[in-house]
């Protein structure tokens, strides 16, 4: 059950941020909140995902670092966040190539800000985070049965979100040339793998037999089949993939379509969320750079708004903030520090609730 997000994490630290030119991101503790306060803006974006179908308008959530110390609370597609400042002034980038980017895809009947704790954590470390609301599959507008066109809309929403970042008139550039893509649930099992380059090896069964569709009696249109079978829905700007609480959607990608993903993958799951399937996913994966982080007692909502009876929400969020940012820094930004290396090869495991396995 989804919960309306009202706030997440601690209140914003409204202290004065240290002079930007003195900050070195390599010295930031990935587990702790970064030195910046967090700003947010929402952009309504209209585009045409399928040539012979209607235009689509999506609200896109954007988080970013700011040196502002006061401001109005951020208003998301759903909910208000008192720890984030609405339409704040972006802080200058402390990264050589401009702000690094984290792109995120929400789950089935979720919304763009349902993992706002993670978005804020990245933004406080100087990142820009962007998350589209996948209209027609959010908590308030879900279309049932979900039409096949939504499997085109999702990856295109992600690509369009990156394109929108490129239009922002900020003083410093936003580096969309290489990004981290994470997703939760449907956003993990489908969006993350699709965006990172998994091939649609089973698409004939989907489009001609209705396999994996909520409405199997309504086949793909010619234009939908052409797009899904083109294997061009991925975005080459995605260089790191982090699926959370979702394996891979074999009804679309087939048994080995994931092997076309060139990005390193950090798969994160909770033991209360189908551990047999998670273990099988790890056991079956071959041919790609793959790590599995398993959270003992975490459930499906531990990765979003919390409220899991078997694991404290703040504990789950602390672990996720730590590992996700560490993996992003190491694999996207080339951080070779020994503490990150030890964390991400499993040498050190700071929490008894978190275990990491590396696919050899």
pLDDT of residue 206 exceeding 60, the answer is: yes
Among 20-29, 78-87, 172-181, the minimum mean pLDDT is found in 20-29
- Is the CB of residue 233 less than 8 Å from the CB of residue 156? yes
User: 93: closest CA among 11, 16, 175, 155?
Assistant: 175
- Is the CB of residue 105 less than 8 Å from the CB of residue 132? yes
Report the predicted TM-score, pTM, of the whole model to 2 decimal places: 0.94
What is the helix (H) or strand (E) element at residue 333, kind and residue range?
Answer: helix 313-333
Confidence class of residue 143 from pLDDT cuts 50, 70 and 90?
confident
Return the DSSP state at 110: B
List CB contacts of 137: < 8 A, sequence separation 6 or more: 108, 109, 143, 146, 150, 154, 186
pLDDT of residue 254 exceeding 90, the answer is: yes
pLDDT of residue 354 exceeding 80, the answer is: yes
**Topology of domain 94-358, CATH:** Rossmann fold (3.40.50)
Task: Tell me the residue ranges of DSSP E strands in 67-166.
Answer: 73-75, 80-86, 99-105, 128-132
Q: Quick one: average pLDDT of 248-266?
A: 97
pLDDT, position 13: 47
Q: Quick one: average pLDDT of 45-69?
A: 97
Q: Which residues pair with 60 in a beta bridge?
A: 43, 132
pLDDT, position 231: 87
Backbone angles phi, psi at 101, to 5 degrees: -125, 135
- Copy the structure tokens of residue 115: 């993992």
Confidence class of residue 128 from pLDDT cuts 50, 70 and 90?
very high
Q: Which residues pair with 354 in a beta bridge?
A: 295
Q: Quick one: average pLDDT of 202-227?
A: 95
pLDDT, position 5: 44
- pLDDT above 90 coverage of the chain, percent: 92
User: 64: closest CA among 79, 51, 74?
Assistant: 74
- Is the CB of residue 72 less than 8 Å from the CB of residue 85? yes
Average pLDDT, the chain: 94
**Would you call 232 helix, strand, or coil by DSSP?**
coil
């Amino acid at each position: 059950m989804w919960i309306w997000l009202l706030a997440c994490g601690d209140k914003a630290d409204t202290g004065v941020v240290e002079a930007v030119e003195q900050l070195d991101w390599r010295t930031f503790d990935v587990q702790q909140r970064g030195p910046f306060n967090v700003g947010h803006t929402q952009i309504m974006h209209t585009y045409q995902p399928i040539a012979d179908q209607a235009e689509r308008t999506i609200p896109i959530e954007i988080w970013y670092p700011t040196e502002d110390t006061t401001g109005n609370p951020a208003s998301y597609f759903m909910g208000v966040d008192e720890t984030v400042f609405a339409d704040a002034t972006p802080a200058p980038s402390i990264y050589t190539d401009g702000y690094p980017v984290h792109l995120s895809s929400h789950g089935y009947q979720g919304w763009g800000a349902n993992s706002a704790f993670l978005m804020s954590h990245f933004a406080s470390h100087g990142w820009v985070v962007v998350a589209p609301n996948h209209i027609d599959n959010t908590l308030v507008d879900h279309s049932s049965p979900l039409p096949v066109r939504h499997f085109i809309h999702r990856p295109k929403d992600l690509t369009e979100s990156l394109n929108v970042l490129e239009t922002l008139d900020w003083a410093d550039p936003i580096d969309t040339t290489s990004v981290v893509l994470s997703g939760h649930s449907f956003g993990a099992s489908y969006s993350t793998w699709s965006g990172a380059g998994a091939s649609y090896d089973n698409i004939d069964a989907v489009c001609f037999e209705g396999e994996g569709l909520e409405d199997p009696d309504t086949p793909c249109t010619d234009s939908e089949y052409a797009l899904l079978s083109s294997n061009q829905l991925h975005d080459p700007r995605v260089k790191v993939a982090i699926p959370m609480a979702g394996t891979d959607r074999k009804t679309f990608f087939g048994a080995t379509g994931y092997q076309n993903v060139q990005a390193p993958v950090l798969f994160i799951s909770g033991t209360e969320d189908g551990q047999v399937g998670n273990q099988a996913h790890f056991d079956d994966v071959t041919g790609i750079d793959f790590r599995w982080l398993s959270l003992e007692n975490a459930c499906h909502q531990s990765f979003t708004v919390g409220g899991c009876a078997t694991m404290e929400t703040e504990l789950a969020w602390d672990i996720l903030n730590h590992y996700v940012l560490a993996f992003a820094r190491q694999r996207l930004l080339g951080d070779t520090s020994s503490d990150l290396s030890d964390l991400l090869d499993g040498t050190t495991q700071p929490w008894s609730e978190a275990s990491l396995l590396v696919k050899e």
